[in-house]
Structure 1
Amino acid sequence: MLDQFRKRVRAAARRLRRVERRELQDFRRWAEVTENLVHLSMLVFVPLAIVLVTTLANAVPQLSFLLFPPLAAGSYTLFVDPTSKYSDPKRFVAGLTIGAVCGLGALAVSNSYLTAPGGQFGVSALGAGLAVFATGVVTWPLDIEEPSSYSTALLALLVEPSQRAAFVVSIFLASSLVAALFVVWREEFYEQRATYLYESMSGDDHVLVPMRGDSAGQTAMLGARLAAAHEAGKVVLLDMVSDSDAATTQQSLMRDTIQMDIRSENGSGSPSARTRPVADGGNPANASVSPDQTDLEAEVDWLETHADRIETRTGVSCQVVVASDDGSPAQTTLQTAAETNCDLIVAPYESRHGALTSYLQRLFRSESDIVVHRSRSDRTRWKQVIVPVRSVSDVAHNMVDFATRLAGRSGRVAVATCIGSRGDRRRAEEMLADLIEPYEGAFETRVPRTDIQTFLTDTAPQYDLVMIGASRDRSKASRFISPPTFERLEDVETDVAIVDRGRA
């Protein structure tokens, strides 16, 4: 009875941890969208700034309470669009301070030449207009226009004569405090958000490549170039056989090959051509082994050749793993990725009747990050990459990151979004600017007024690779009515990489 209770408690704890991990992952991917991150930061840091200023005002009675309305509005302007011209800390401090000075100047003029209306908060209408006019006249030529400076100028008309100097000083100090908080947030977090939030920036560098199909060599090189972008990158080439005995034999042959290479390097001689395994360059016809073993040795030789080529061309560590598929190649691939600590699977493209094979569909439904490579040539370098996107998302960030890895410093990455004949071009351009801002490299953005299929058919031949999303976020009904874009690119004679993030 007690054992059953303990098992249920442990099972409940495991489920709770899975839910927590899933929710944390969902939140992190939600925060990858710049708009979400900015609004979340605004909800946190604007109130924090007001708390700091209020604490300071309570400690220093000379600070005027009239500084709070323009300060709150100005803080919102700073954080809501960190890249706009109004999110300049110097503009923020100077604008609010000049607005206060102009307001006090207008107050002095109105008190001298105009009759102020009665009441505690009575303000001359002409004085208010003069305060706004003076603020605009001063800030415009100096290029320090700040929306909140006008409210500061108007509030200055309510300041008591004994508090006018303190009002200007309090505006300057409070705005400087908020500006300092904004600078720290922008430089240490917002501009570094890719490092903190985008998982691919620090991961997706241990790459597993299932060696399936005729283009496995090109796909392995694609995976190697993705891994080579990080110092800790590695590549694992996976070969799957139908039974465990063959897998054991093949692994043994690879160990024999490595041992003979070591003996050869140490000057211990090499085996004769008659008995030398095929994996070390011998002739299968002269090998003193069974026909089945000769086939295995030839396959080992093929795998080792690819591994050597990867290490030579990219400098990335490459190892070969042979596993029994046990009737489920997809499950074997995922299990091997977990056992070899690989966080990205790069698989060759496979299709049947115009759709992905069940093997690739199973990979896309897994928790692993997936790249499916459709090769149209013997290309092993991709310096010109185009990335079509629909919106800013975690998958879009992955695609841009992978594209910059492949293009390198000497390549070029184009990021495009199609808006049709009635789309909002400005909004699309702002979206693309937000998407590529965290990354370094040569970028171009394209906003064509056409559909995605027509655009890629006309444009893709100018590039080495099309990096496109798998559209796994769409419902089955939506995918049935309108097939994913990559399924409509069969006539495009350019390499295609289909990218998807794992779903817990």
Structure 2
Amino acid sequence: MLESLRGRYYSIRRRARRLKRRELKSLRRWFEDTENLLHLSALIVIPLLIGSITWLSNASPIISFFVYPPLASGTYTLFADPDGRYSTPRKFVGGMTTGALCGWFALELTARFLYVVPPEQFRVHAGAAALGILLTGLSTWMLEFEEPTAFSTALLILVTGSEKLTYVVGIVVSSILVASIFVVWRRHFYCERSRYLFQSTSGDDKVLVPVRGDGTVSLALFAARLAAAHEMGKVVLMQTVSEDAIQETADRIGSTASPTESDGSEGQTHDSTSKAEEQITDRALQRFDRLSERITSEVDVPCEYVVAVDTGSTGKTILQTAGTENCDLICAPYETDEAAPAQFVRTLISGTIDTVVFRPSNGRTEWHRLLVMVRSSGQLANTMLEFAKRLVSDGGTISASSCISNHGERRATEILLENVVESLSVPVETRIGHGSVEEFLTRNASHYDVAIVGASTDRSAPSRFISSPTYERIYELECDLAIVHRG
């Protein structure tokens, strides 16, 4: 009874740990979408800042209550769009201060010369409001302090009564406080978010390369450049051997043996099989040695070798080997079966290990112009751009592109591309194409060395059923093609 309860307790604890790891992984993927990160930052930082300033205003008469409305809206503008037109500390502080001063000047001018009443007794009139807005617009335009909240501060001073100086001082102090916190947040967290949050910038130290068919050198060097991004990077060259191939080799060895050696005993059969495995392994190692010399001479990444027996499903064998060898990434060749992706390719890009399926066009081993096709922000886009950064040669260029079907999608797509490229430490140009992805690639592939696209495994099953993955609709291209899957 006690043993049963203890076993159940440990089982529940293991399930809880697996659930915790799964939830943490999902949360981290959610954070990789820049839009999600910005929304969460705005929800957390703005209430804390406004609450802190409220506490400060209660403890000191420096900050007036009228400061809150423009301060809250301006703070949201900063944190919701950190790289936007209005999101600079200079514009934030300068615009709010200029608006308050212009409103104060308009109040003094209209109260004394237009309505002939002391400013303290002045009721808000249309002329004063219009003059304050006009002066604010002209001043912020000339000083390059254009900021939406500047107009709010210009109007609110009209209702402060005798607290005009307190209001202006409060605007200056609170805006400087918010801008200082914003600068620290943007410099040390937002601009470094790829280091803290993006899983695509870590790992991939050990890359498994199934050696199959033609284009092996190009594939191996492609994988080696991905692995070389980390000091502990390593390439694992792998070859699968079917049981039929082993049996054929064993039969051939048995047929060439002398009559005294081929007595048909069980021990002799086992000996022939062992010799066949040795022969196949030796041939594979010779091929691996040639590839390894090429890799270490051009990329300086160490290599390991693996020969695995294919028990029926090549894709499953590769995935199992990647797990056994603790590989973070699989770089596999693209193969087709009657113009459709081969079954082992489909197995790999539906597995739990990150995979890049590579289709070379002319055997190039260096990539100077790279095109990354982005459909949405998030983990997959970050991964593809990170891979592009590792692959691009010195002096090369990276282009991030997305396709739209109508002009109304342009602005949202521009923001999308801006969000996914701004975290990279290398310059990335952005392009927006019209029409489908396959049409865009067909028109522009000749201008690039490699095009990187997603495997669409982040889409829902009904979505993939209605519209097949993009890579399945891409046939002949005048550049290399890399299909990226996040496991």
User: How far did 1:460 drift?
Assistant: 1.2
Q: Over the residues paired in the alignment, what is the CA RMSD in angstroms?
A: 2.5
Matches for 1:259-270 after TM superposition, within 5 Å? none
- Distance in 2, matches of 1:2 and 1:238, equals 48
181-190 or 217-226, which deviates more: 217-226
100-109 or 474-483, which deviates more: 474-483
Residue type at the aligned position of 2:141: W
Asked whether the 8 Å contact 1:116–1:123 carries over to 2, the reply is no
Which of 431, 444, 453 pairs up with 1:468? 453
Matches for 1:208-357 after TM superposition, within 5 Å? 208-242=208-242, 293-357=278-342
Asked whether the 8 Å contact 2:112–2:119 carries over to 1, the reply is no
User: How far did 1:241 drift?
Assistant: 3.4
- Distance in 2, matches of 1:99 and 1:328, equals 70
Percent identity over the alignment is 45
| Cα distance change, pair 214–232 in 1 and its aligned pair in 2 (3 A) | same
| Cα distance change, pair 463–315 in 1 and its aligned pair in 2 (3 A) | same
| Cα distance change, pair 2–211 in 1 and its aligned pair in 2 (3 A) | farther
Question: Cα deviation per residue 1:98-134 (whole Å; 9 max; x = unaligned)?
Answer: 2222222222223323166999994222222222222
| Cα distance change, pair 337–295 in 1 and its aligned pair in 2 (3 A) | closer
- Distance in 2, matches of 1:240 and 1:116, equals 93
- Distance in 2, matches of 1:125 and 1:329, equals 79
Provide the residue aligned with 2:483 in structure 1: 498
Asked whether the 8 Å contact 1:411–1:442 carries over to 2, the reply is no
Asked whether the 8 Å contact 1:117–1:124 carries over to 2, the reply is no
393-402 or 424-433, which deviates more: 424-433
Matches for 1:358-437 after TM superposition, within 5 Å? 358-437=343-422
- Distance in 2, matches of 1:145 and 1:421, equals 31
Provide the residue aligned with 1:177 in structure 2: 177
Q: Is residue 150 of structure 1 aligned with residue 175 of structure 2? A: no
| Cα distance change, pair 309–16 in 1 and its aligned pair in 2 (3 A) | same
User: How far did 1:404 drift?
Assistant: 1.8
Residue type at the aligned position of 1:77: T
Asked whether the 8 Å contact 1:78–1:86 carries over to 2, the reply is yes
Q: Is residue 488 of structure 1 aligned with residue 473 of structure 2? A: yes
Match of 1:87, SS state, is: coil
Residue type at the aligned position of 1:420: S
| Cα distance change, pair 441–119 in 1 and its aligned pair in 2 (3 A) | closer
Question: Cα deviation per residue 1:129-166 (whole Å; 9 max; x = unaligned)?
Answer: 222222222222111122112111211122232x3322
User: How far did 1:346 drift?
Assistant: 0.9
| Cα distance change, pair 295–151 in 1 and its aligned pair in 2 (3 A) | closer
- Distance in 2, matches of 1:354 and 1:4, equals 55
Question: Cα deviation per residue 1:69-88 (whole Å; 9 max; x = unaligned)?
Answer: 11111111111211112111
Q: Is residue 439 of structure 1 aligned with residue 445 of structure 2? A: no
| Cα distance change, pair 72–476 in 1 and its aligned pair in 2 (3 A) | closer
| Cα distance change, pair 149–209 in 1 and its aligned pair in 2 (3 A) | same
| Cα distance change, pair 125–396 in 1 and its aligned pair in 2 (3 A) | same
Give the count of matched residue pairs: 457
Unaligned runs of 5+ in 1: 247-288
- Distance in 1, matches of 2:159 and 2:214, equals 80
- Distance in 2, matches of 1:219 and 1:423, equals 40
Provide the residue aligned with 2:67 in structure 1: 67
- Distance in 1, matches of 2:38 and 2:337, equals 44
| Cα distance change, pair 242–8 in 1 and its aligned pair in 2 (3 A) | farther
Asked whether the 8 Å contact 2:208–2:330 carries over to 1, the reply is yes
- Distance in 2, matches of 1:295 and 1:409, equals 40
- Distance in 1, matches of 2:172 and 2:186, equals 21
Provide the residue aligned with 1:124 in structure 2: 125
Match of 2:355, SS state, is: strand
Asked whether the 8 Å contact 1:466–1:496 carries over to 2, the reply is yes
Asked whether the 8 Å contact 2:401–2:431 carries over to 1, the reply is yes
- Distance in 1, matches of 2:117 and 2:237, equals 84
Asked whether the 8 Å contact 2:372–2:399 carries over to 1, the reply is yes
